[in-house]
Chains A and B, each alone.
Chain A
Amino acid sequence: MSTFDTIPKTKQEALVETLLRLADDRLILGHRISEWAGHGPELEEDLALANIALDMIGHASALYTYAAELEGKADEDHYAYFRDDIDFKNIALCELPRGDFAFTIARIFLFSTFSYFLYQKLIDIVEDEQFNGMLQKHFKEIKYHLRHSREWVLRLGDGTDESHQRAQDAFNEIWMYTGELFNLDEVDQVAIQKNLFVDTLDFREEWEKLVVDTLEEATLNVPDMEQYMFSGSRQGRHTEHLGRLLAEMQFLRRSYPDAEWK
């Protein structure tokens, strides 16, 4: 737990925390992917990356909107624009700089694979109708992100020598940030008790299998699973990158907070 956090007591508090954690991941990663707009490796892929970014930011926006309703905040922008980096609960994997196309694909693939299993399980247990409705709607898009990124992992891994090397470097570099996908803290535990979240370790093997199978099919080596893993982001202990990302994202809105910007 970070210094300022308290463990949610009521079901509603647990729900808000869960919504924010899911939303923060998606906003921050969507933001990173949006940096490709106009700079993609081919026109068709520029469109594809923009679609994925739009989906993720859209998911975040819907989740924030619901949290704002529950907490009586003005709107979704309250969470995106008026919180500091230590308040954001996204995992570090999402905030790392854009990187090259191989890094982008590796990150979308690892994250979408995780989201795929997570949403699948959540849809089964979440009783809150509004939350469940969102999960179902977003799940369809997550399946596409998984399909698109998986196909690209195969092409980069089993393409040219250069693409193979870049893909291998990307997975090696990013691997230490995958541990956080499966870290559960006390907030998660409360959410699990209240049927708002699931024990991610329950599907860790499935996740690993899909990742390992894909990497092998792509002729890539699976990075060392026992290596040091970064942790702490869910408690607000981020990398140095998030602060800069937020400085850019929030500056205009915070400079003129009383102006109408919607």
Chain B
Amino acid sequence: MDSPEKLEEFQQRIDNGEKIEPKDWMPERYRKQLIRIMSQHAHSEIVGMLPEGNWITRAPSLKRKMVLLAKVQDEAGHGLYLYSGTETLGVKRQDLVEDYLYGNAKYSSIFNYPTLTYADICVIGWLVDGAAIVNQTMLAKSSYGPYSRANVRICKEESFHKKQGYEMLAKMADGTPEQQKMAQDAVNRWWWPTLMMFGPHDTDSPNSAELIKWGVKTKTNDELRQHFVDRMVMEAEAIGIELPDPDLTYNEETGHWEFGDIPWDEFWSVVKGDGPMNRERMKARRKAYEEGEWVREAAKEYARKKRLQDEKAS
């Protein structure tokens, strides 16, 4: 058990804004929570490669093809940084991966929606990466050193993701009637799921208070969501895109945009596995993992043989 003195001392360090490093003492529950949210974050990056990867071979220009491929590759990189960070807590990457492929570990539900037209790629860049940046900018200040550093690196790379999406969406919104239709349709489909990315309302988010107390997060789900909505309303207007919420109104007093009810039933249903693409996403990831097994084994076996040869030679 964690002694009250140790807990007190730990809390003091957090409150002083100190970073916690892998070898430092930490409450068992802090470690568990970190493993949970860091690996979820990592899984999300990896599953997130699939909906966008869906358009690499069909991107409408060579420039957009390279941009998209580089972006999907960055997501592999981000997943890797985050798994690296999680591994400092004494867990193995393979175990974490198997936890989401075959167990109960979660990833962001946003990736359980399909990318139907190329405009979806632009909207993912603008909205989904936009939301991710809001979240990750906060996480870059996280109390756990390796998590904070991983997010600093991710944020540096992520701003390109959002910009390329917003830029292309602006072109489509200002393009031919077909492009405009695709752009608006994609925004209509992705808007609400994106708002859900910030997680349940603070009142329904059991982990939030604890994560904030420990400095893993510094803002609540609702604060982050509000910050995001305020920004997006402005950006949507700038490119002539309508947000699919008739209740959006500006509140002069608070200086914030108020928005309609988020369809939480849908959120919980997708989280529990019943979304349009949950099963397909998992199937694709399991297939890659299982078909990769012989490759991973081969390289290990080769390394083992070489080591034996070297030992014999010396």
In the assembled complex, how far is the CB of residue A30 from the closest CB belonging to chain B, in whole angstroms?
Answer: 9
Select which of A40, A60, A160, A261 is within 8 A of B64 by beta carbon: A261
A185 interface residue, CB < 8 Å from B? no
Judge whether B72 and A50 touch: CB under 8 Å: yes
Q: How far is the CA of A6 from the CA of B178 in the complex (A)?
A: 39
Main secondary structure of the interface of A (DSSP, over half): helix
B248 interface residue, CB < 8 Å from A? no
Q: How large is the interface on A (under 10, 10 to 19, 20 to 34, 35 or more residues)?
A: 35 or more
A-B contact pairs, 14 of them (CB 8 A): A37-B73, A38-B288, A40-B76, A40-B292, A42-B296, A43-B76, A47-B73, A50-B76, A57-B66, A60-B62, A61-B63, A166-B294, A252-B60, A261-B61
A155 interface residue, CB < 8 Å from B? yes
B98 interface residue, CB < 8 Å from A? no
Select which of A249, A259, A262 is within 8 A of B58 by beta carbon: A249
Residues in A lying within 8 Å of B, measured CB to CB: 27, 31, 34-35, 37-47, 50-51, 53-54, 57-58, 60-61, 64, 76-77, 80-81, 100-101, 154-156, 158-160, 162-163, 166, 248-249, 251-253, 256, 258-262
B49 to A, closest residue via Cβ: A38
Contacts across chains A and B counted by CB atoms under 8 Å: 142
Judge whether B299 and A61 touch: CB under 8 Å: no
Residues in B lying within 8 Å of A, measured CB to CB: 46, 49-50, 53, 56-66, 69-70, 72-73, 76-77, 79-80, 83, 118, 171, 175-176, 178-179, 284, 287-288, 291-302, 305
Q: How far is the CA of A117 from the CA of B189 in the complex (A)?
A: 51
Judge whether A259 and B178 touch: CB under 8 Å: yes
Judge whether B58 and A47 touch: CB under 8 Å: no
Judge whether A57 and B305 touch: CB under 8 Å: no
Inter-chain contacts of B292 with A (CB < 8 A): 40-42, 45, 101
Q: How far is the CA of A194 from the CA of B217 in the complex (A)?
A: 65
Inter-chain contacts of B63 with A (CB < 8 A): 61, 262
Judge whether A156 and B62 touch: CB under 8 Å: no
